[in-house]
Chain A
Amino acid sequence: MSSEDRVQVAASFILQSPPGEINDVLNDVRVIVDDDAGLEEGILPALREYNIAQFTTVEVPGEHHQTIISEFARVPDTEAERYLDPRSKISFVFNHLTLEATDPQSEEPSEVEPQRAALESAALSYLNSHYHDGVVTVLAMSTTRFAIQIVSNKYNPSNYWAGRWRSHYEIDFESRTIQGRVLVDVHYYEQGNVQLSTSNDSSISIPAAVSSLSPASSASKIFALIEAEESRCQASLNDAYHEMGEKAFKGLRRALPLTRQKIDWDKTMGYKLGAELTASNRAFGAQPR
């Protein structure tokens, strides 16, 4: 296998990393591929893809909050990988390997800043209401379209579990729709490897009346819709758990046989069969050694 092919396989492993375990996966991959030079050279695109797909967060230089690394936040025409924190209007260079943000610069706010800021303020208040450790970013994609990303991570390696909740919404005031996607991943790995992986796509219409409201009022209406959808999504996960437990799990293997008694193995073996075996080969068990 060529060095490039090995790095390609390594990249596919990295992209499958469970929440909070990318460094463990990287350590394993380094030992397995055994080609640090090749990895260093070829692995960066996979790390970049992972960071963007998994809503990797970083502390904004000089600020006391975190922001999400995303394609929407990418500042164009820069040689380095520069990303914008829309909340502080500071851009920074992000290193996809070390996850460090450096070289902060101020950016000019866009013309739709009032609407964006209103959505951000509603987003932060929503985050505070439903997420224990969440980070949210709200970015203007055009004068009528906004991207909202939410991520909440919990890593508990000492108890062998980790989880990540990602929400992504695109709000389009022109077509009056919210396109949403919620992804939840959980990894439980004490003496095993159990993973929950969910995805939920939704499409919500924004009532016509909302567009005539002030930025603050329309933002809070939009977050009422998002809150209802996310709570519905979480409740339907509960329903799915119930379905899978009652229908699939019980249908796969019974807790006890129909008789509600454990098996009588001596009977199951059949005395005849047992006797036959004993007679034909003088007790496998009582064989002299």
Chain B
Amino acid sequence: MAEGPDPVDSMLDLMRRLPPTNVEENVNALIQICPDYADDLLGSVDQPLKVKTDRATGKDYLACDYNRDGDSYRSPWSNEYDPPIDDGTSPTPKLRKLEIAANEAFDTYRELYYEGGVSSVYLWDLEDGGFAGVVLLKKAMTPTSPDEPSGSWDSIHVFETVERGRQAHYKLTSTVMLELVTKQNNKADETSVLHEPEKKASEQGWKSSGEITLSGSMTRQTEQDWPVHEPTSHITNTGKMIEEMEMKMRNLLQEVYFGKTRDIVYDLRSMDDLNKARRQRELQKELVGFIKR
């Protein structure tokens, strides 16, 4: 084991290749093969966030590895674990106060940018004195008709901060998981591509049905220093950083999802007749040769 490649590296490489739509079952399969690496895997592979309802407040919150203790998840609203456990880890009272304020602030952020969805913030103390946290946002759209696209967006922003005098250094790692699905159904009996009007429409039947899925995740990191005047400065600072990061990542996702993947499809098959294009190029060459003469 000491000489060969690290199995965790291979697992992470594998997860970067396999379809994002199967991430949960693939992570479970890996854990079955290598139970010893379960914690490494669950801590490093981002999975779609689960929505849970806080029994005490009735508010929805998001479950992930960061608010998990055993099989229970802690709600950021009531600070209680579900299913209840006696000695579940919880932030210190001081950090919990900041956590409450952060949840309120990012709830406002969520409303302004997502106009729906669910947000949760979890904080924890670091051994070397600073603290860390995760800001989670999720929104899902269910189609109102079969032809409408459906989609979901999951943001996971993990940050660590260490104070240096009146400054704090922040390290932010952001992952956005985005899935979009469209179903298509088409049927035509009257239009025939061969245009043979003498034939009955039923003889020129055509129908098709399809499904298009764009899914995946992208991760980016940034490190920044910001002034700290009071405890809540941490919320203002991480808020600005996360807002900026989500803006960048939204643009990036738009470019990759709708630009890059589409271009690759056109690299595989051309809509235009390539022979025509080839002939045109030949003609152009001839013309250029003619002009040069």
Which A residues are within 8 Å of any B CB, using their own CB?
1, 5-6, 9, 12-13, 16-18, 21, 24-25, 27-29, 31-34, 128-132, 134, 152-154, 161-165, 176, 182, 184, 186-189, 191-205, 207-209, 221, 224-225, 228-238, 240-241, 243-245, 247-249, 251-255, 257-259, 262-263, 265-266, 268-270, 273-274, 277-278, 280-281, 283-286, 289
Contacts and interface: CB of A to CB of B under 8 A. Distances in A.
CB-based closest 7 A-B pairs = A284-B231, A194-B216, A192-B218, A200-B210, A202-B208, A248-B151, A285-B228
B269 A9 contact: no
A277 B231 contact: yes
A189 B151 CA distance: 20
A229 B213 contact: no
Contacts of A225: 193-194
Interface of B: 4-5, 7, 10-11, 13-22, 26, 29-30, 32-34, 94-95, 97-98, 101, 104-105, 108-109, 112-115, 129, 139, 141, 148-153, 163, 166, 168, 178, 180, 182, 184, 186, 192-194, 196, 199, 203-220, 228-236, 239-240, 243, 246-247, 250, 253-254, 256-258, 260-262, 264-265, 267-271, 273-275
B17 to A, nearest CB: 5
A179 to B, nearest CB: 11
Contact of A16 (B19, B105, B108, B269): B19
Contact of B236 (A162, A194, A266): A266
Nearest to B139: A252
Contact of A269 (B19, B105, B228): B105
A192 B217 contact: yes
A269 B97 CA distance: 13
Contacts of A238: 262
A29 B246 CA distance: 34
B132 to A, nearest CB: 14
Contact of B101 (A154, A231, A258, A269): A269
Nearest to B147: A243
Contacts of A258: 112
B222 to A, nearest CB: 13
Contact of B19 (A197, A203, A236, A243): A197
A128 B168 contact: no
Contact of B212 (A134, A164, A198, A229): A198
B230 A274 contact: yes
B78 to A, nearest CB: 18
Contacts of B13: 24, 28
A253 B268 contact: no
27 contacts: A13-B26, A16-B26, A18-B19, A24-B17, A32-B7, A32-B14, A32-B33, A154-B264, A182-B210, A188-B264, A195-B215, A196-B213, A202-B208, A203-B205, A207-B199, A208-B203, A225-B194, A229-B193, A233-B210, A240-B182, A244-B151, A253-B113, A254-B114, A265-B235, A277-B230, A283-B231, A285-B229
Contacts of B196: 207, 209
Contact of B208 (A27, A200, A208): A200
Contact of A165 (B182, B208, B219, B269): B269
Nearest to A266: B236
Contacts of B98: 277, 284
A11 B218 CA distance: 27
Contacts of B207: 202-203
Contacts of A270: 104
A253 B18 contact: no
Q: Which of B104, B193, B270, B274 has the most CB of A within 10 A?
A: B193
A129 B273 contact: yes
Given A207-B196, A252-B151, 4 more contacts: A130-B270, A194-B217, A204-B205, A285-B229
Contacts of B34: 32
Contacts of B19: 16, 18, 195, 197
A192 B211 contact: no
B264 to A, nearest CB: 4
Given A18-B17, A203-B205, A283-B230, A247 B257 contact: no
Contacts of A200: 184, 208-211
B101 A277 contact: yes
A6 B260 contact: no
Contacts of B199: 207-209
Contacts of B260: 161, 188, 194
A243 B275 CA distance: 31
Nearest to A30: B10
A269 B215 CA distance: 34
A273 B257 CA distance: 40
A202 B187 CA distance: 9
Contacts of A232: 208
Given A13-B14, A207-B203, A194 B214 contact: yes
A196 B261 contact: yes
Contact of B247 (A5, A198, A221, A255): A255
A164 B261 CA distance: 11
Given A184-B265, A236-B186, A269-B105, A9 B32 contact: yes
